[in-house]
Amino acid sequence: MHKMASGKKAFSYLQIEQGVPYKKGTRIPLDGNTFMIGRSTTAFSVDISFGSFLISRKHCYVKYSNSEWIISDLGSKHGTRVNEESIAEQEEYVLKSGDKVILSSGIVIFSFVMPVEFDKTLDFDRTHSIKIEDELTFDPYVNIDLDRMKLLVDNQVISLSVKEWLFLETLYRRRGKVVSYEDIKRAVWPERYMVHNNFSVVGFEEVNMMSYRLRKKFGKYSKIIKTIRGHGCILDL
């Protein structure tokens, strides 16, 4: 087990390399304290779910404790490894940025990433600032930082759930264009997408409710996100 310097949990995320139903490169923000990883069923759900039956229902968890992110195996049938090193059941392994986590001999692979600190300068193309005209005397803005998985509204960091961030990121990557309901469902709720039937069990009401919750977090800039009835949603920049 290795140690690391204390980090800022708000900027950490898991980046998927492989694992149905996620696409390679998908980023899952670690915006809470504990994330159960495994395989959801109709009667049981986990925070981060993969579709293969080789993944145990309760496979492992990632937890923020004492200013560190740790991973622990929960007695999974096919095991958890970090950088090819097997983790014993209930062992708490301290993660450092760049660590590669392998579940069930490579059925699922993801990396733990802790991006640069606040005081490090990012390349301009990594950060997109949206200036918005407003009648107030100060200069308000909305800032969506994909690299740090962070949303700022009027210089205030806005807390987003995993699903809210995936929703926002999906719209942002196609900003100015309508993103269909089906594309949103696949991106935000991949664990509920029936691959073989090419069908999602997520309803339109759930997508619209997520859009509504996200608009509320934008405050007076809520009109940035629009719902196009019968088609989808758009991030109107």
- What is the structure's pLDDT at 5? 36
- What is the structure's pLDDT at 110? 97
- Together in a domain, 24 and 109: yes
- Together in a domain, 153 and 214: yes
Helix (H, G, I), strand (E, B) or coil at 167: helix
Decide if 126 is inside a domain. no
CA of residue 65 relative to chain centroid, distance: 20
Average pLDDT, the chain: 81
Q: How far apart are CA 1 and CA 28, in angstroms?
A: 24
- What is the structure's pLDDT at 195? 53
User: Is-cis flag, bond preceding 21, omega within 30?
Assistant: yes
- What is the structure's pLDDT at 34? 93
pLDDT band of residue 237 (cuts 50, 70, 90) is low
Decide if 160 is inside a domain. yes
* Beta pairing, strands 27-29 & 13-18: antiparallel
Decide if 2 is inside a domain. no
Whichever domain contains 146, its CATH number is 1.10.10.10
Domain assignment of residue 205, given as a range:
142-235
- Together in a domain, 42 and 98: yes
- Together in a domain, 107 and 165: no
- What is the structure's pLDDT at 190? 84
- What is the structure's pLDDT at 236? 82
Q: How far apart are CA 39 and CA 49, in angstroms?
A: 5
- What is the structure's pLDDT at 111? 95
Domain limit, last residue, from 67, 98, 113: 113
Stated as kind and residue range, the H or E segment containing 14 is strand 13-18
- Residues 5-37 pLDDT 10s: 334 445 689 999 999 889 888 989 888 889 999
- Residues 100-158 pLDDT 10s: 999 999 999 999 998 754 333 333 344 444 443 333 333 347 888 887 788 888 878 88
Q: What is the average per-residue pLDDT within 65-69?
A: 91
High-pLDDT (> 70) share of the chain, %: 80
- Together in a domain, 101 and 30: yes
> Is 60 exceeded by the pLDDT of residue 42?
yes
Decide if 215 is inside a domain. yes
- Together in a domain, 97 and 188: no
pLDDT band of residue 72 (cuts 50, 70, 90) is very high
- What is the structure's pLDDT at 189? 87
How many domains does the structure of the chain reveal? 2
